Structure 1
Amino acid sequence: MGHIRLGRIPGTRKWQEVVSLISEGADVPQIAAKSADAAARGLETAAHDKALVHAFWLLTQIPQAARQANFAERLRALGLEVSSEPTLLDVVGAFASAVDRRVRETGGRTDLGETAQHAAAETLTFLAGRELPSLFAPSPSDVQHAIAKLGTSDRFSIVARDFFSRLTRRYLAYFLSRELSNHVGPQQRFASTGDHTKFNVALDLHCREASRIIKEFPGAGTAKPSLSRAALARRKPRISLT
């Protein structure tokens, strides 16, 4: 996966309102909500972003592959180039390569798509990783079992919410990171880099808590893990951080 560049705050009225809120010391929920509103146009393109749709589709299909006896073969059928007994890092790396390949074939790499690719990789690593044994090196069977747990109906909403909270946080950070650094120092919003860090932690927590109200995008508690890639593309996200 590539590296996402820091974005500049656009010069629109809504983004200038975000800058004002930061300068005035507004709390995290206010800044997050206003930032999401300002970024809404970009987020509305999500359903048409090839990398985002493919990344999320693979995130729904990899756990289903793990529920089958021929796990590695099923992964290869999804376009993931793995060995016969892949580790979790192997699966995540193959996932990233598969998304890259898809984008090269279809064209249209975007910052939003790359953000989604990173978010999906983080979700798979985090949720499957916490299911692995901590005392011993996980076996291939442990890895398959851990990923398979993410494919059940009750876990599917957890996967979706984790993905969208990470996507939203990363997308807001794309715009906010550079601007926030302009407000560190004496007589500024953040008196120190420590205060700046605390704000970022609070923003991350806010995005996670708000992810439960993500609506009308596949997997947010209503869609099935077997939803097709075409069906994903027909759905449009409505992300609110208020």
Structure 2
Amino acid sequence: MGHERISHLPSTKQWRNIVAQLTEFSPQNNNVALIATNTTKNVAQQIERMNQDKGVLASFSYLLILLHASKQRDPHAFLQQNGITLSSSFSLLELARSIKQFNLANSENTEYATISSQALIDTVSTWTKKEQQQTTLFFGGDADPFEPWRRAADAGSFSEISRIYFSNFLGRYLKYFLEREASASFNNLFDRSDFNKRLDSHLDDISRNAFETTKVTQQFAAGWYNNNAVKQFPKATEIQGFVGYALKKLKRNLVYNLDLED
């Protein structure tokens, strides 16, 4: 996400305490681990409410639309019916641009829309590379760009790709918040660079842990997909129900792994 600006961040007392800790950081007083832990605690406290955000729901809806379109006789027609336009031999770059446009057009909170769209871009990139390695399929030319998503449109693959998405979402949210606040807090370029290096090591641990904790959603995801998305495109309420459940499970596992009380 680079240095792209997002409209606003949470302004609760807990977040302000984290910002205060950031301003006190120095190489001699390494409180990065504490900052990362406190940030994760605050994410755990509010992550369950994210299923009410239109940007988060739009992001996950895009993924489901893409999977469902891949099984249709005319995939492009189904995409257009749902507000998505892609060329006949769309590339991964075009897909990424389309995800951003769709999310911005179907969101109210720029912060969550940006983070969730980037999480989905990370996810489709990971999935595409995985499929290319296994089948040597490449976008463009005579290749069918829907083929990776056609293979993703079953219960087992959906449970895998949804797990990748939620771990990407959490990692993006944590890292962006801390990097932005660090950038605003440090006047010394050396301290800022040193902080980012130390932060990356802690967030890499958090991201790996988040991927492990999202494993608990896989069995539920497979069953949900079989019941709600195999024969028909799921209703908006069904999508929100799935996202809400996944986020609740992620919250509970974050809380558990941080030794917090729910």
1:232 aligns with 2:239: yes
Q: Which residue of 2 aligns with 1:118?
A: 118
**Cα distance in 2, alignment partners of residues 170 and 92 from structure 1:** 16
Contact 1:57 1:232 in 2 (8 A): yes
Q: What corresponds to 2:99 in structure 1?
A: 95
CA distance in 1, matches of 2:52, 2:218: 12
Does 17-26 or 149-158 show the bigger shift? 17-26
Q: Percent identity?
A: 20
Gap regions ≥5 residues in structure 1: none
Q: 1:152 matched to which residue of 2?
A: 154
Q: Is 1:25 aligned to residue 1 of structure 2? A: no
CA contact (8 A) 1:66 1:147 kept: yes
Rounded Cα–Cα distance in structure 2 between residues aligned with 1:174 and 1:153: 32
More moved, 221-230 vs 120-129: 221-230
Match of 2:67 in 1: 63
Letter in 1 for 2:196: H
**Equivalent pair of 2:171/2:203 in contact (CA under 8 Å):** yes
Structure 2 residue 79 is matched with structure 1 residue 75: yes
- Larger deviation: 175-184 or 109-118? 175-184
Larger mean CA deviation between 201-210 and 169-178 belongs to 201-210
Deviation of the 1:47 alpha carbon: 1.2
What is the number of equivalent residue pairs in this alignment? 234
Question: What pairs with 1:1-242 in structure 2 (closer than 5 Å)?
Answer: 3-5=4-6, 10=11, 12-13=13-14, 16=17, 20=21, 23=25, 25=30, 28=33, 31-103=35-107, 108-132=108-132, 138-139=140-141, 141-181=143-183, 182=185, 193=193, 196-197=196-197, 199-214=199-214, 223-224=224-225, 226=229, 227-234=234-241, 235-236=244-245, 237-238=247-248, 239=251, 240-241=253-254, 242=257
* Separation in structure 2 between the aligned mates of residue 169 and residue 8 of structure 1, nearest angstrom: 16
Q: Structure 1-normalised TM-score?
A: 0.74
CA contact (8 A) 2:182 2:192 kept: no
Contact 2:32 2:195 (C-alpha < 8 Å) held by counterparts? no
Structure 2 unaligned spans of 5+ = 258-262
Deviation at 1:34, TM superposition (A): 2.4
TM-score, length of structure 2 as denominator length: 0.69
Q: Distance in 2 between matches of 1:184 and 1:202?
A: 22
